[in-house]
Amino acid sequence: MNEGLGHNDYNEKLVLGLQENTTPDCIIVDKVYAHCQQRECFPEIEVDLDGKKFETIKFKPGFIVPGTLIIDDIENRPNFRRVRFTLRIPYEIIKSGGSTIEKFLPDIQKDVVLYIPDARDEFKFNIVVETNSQVLGTPVVTGGKLTFAVGVFIIIKVVGKVQLLIPVYDFCPEPPECEEFSPGNICDDFDYEPFPDFFPLQYEDQPDAE
């Protein structure tokens, strides 16, 4: 370990490492062989609030519904596969008092073509999805029902665990000391407040006095 090597210096050295003396090393990583992006939009999602007041909406990571993933070969397209699955995205509506309603957005059916190269039988490719769901516009509450629109960004990845040979500059530097949480003292800021005027201004000292 290079003692005294700061994080910024370390990152710079890491970038320049290819031009300097480095040591090759093997690591095991999840390599992305292919990926693609899509988006879906739901203009009107409606939920009954059960008489409570709506506060916010939170989304959870989307996932492939178990049992729906199908991967097929494509005729005359070696190393490419047809990938089909059902994508499901959970969300949570938080109501007044902390109560919640847990639901799913409408299921999203995916049918895409991805590069999945031929490999030995024991090598496994995984289909991984990532989602970023956002409320579009302003949710509306009418008659005890919440109505809102949602836009979903989707990334689909083909991932395989491999061993890679990479250039290594050094082990990572020691991390910085953790910051201990300590609640602030409201009187600390008060000590630096300017001292106020104790007495009302005379007439001639008023800003609007003629």
Half-sphere exposure of 75 (CA within 13 A, CB side): 0
pLDDT at 2: 41
207 in a domain, yes or no?
no
Is residue 12 over pLDDT 70? no
73 in a domain, yes or no?
yes
Considering only CA atoms, which of 85, 87, 89 is closest in space to residue 114? 85
119 in a domain, yes or no?
yes
81 in a domain, yes or no?
yes
Total tally of structural domains belonging to the chain: 1
Per-chain mean pLDDT for the chain: 87
75 in a domain, yes or no?
yes
> Alpha carbon of 140 to those of 47, 63, 102: distances in Å?
11, 28, 18
Provide the 10 A C-beta neighbour count for residue 129: 18
Of 10-14, 23-27, 128-132, 169-173, least confident by mean pLDDT is 10-14
Domain that holds residue 140: 25-166
45 in a domain, yes or no?
yes
35 in a domain, yes or no?
yes
205 in a domain, yes or no?
no
Is residue 19 over pLDDT 80? no
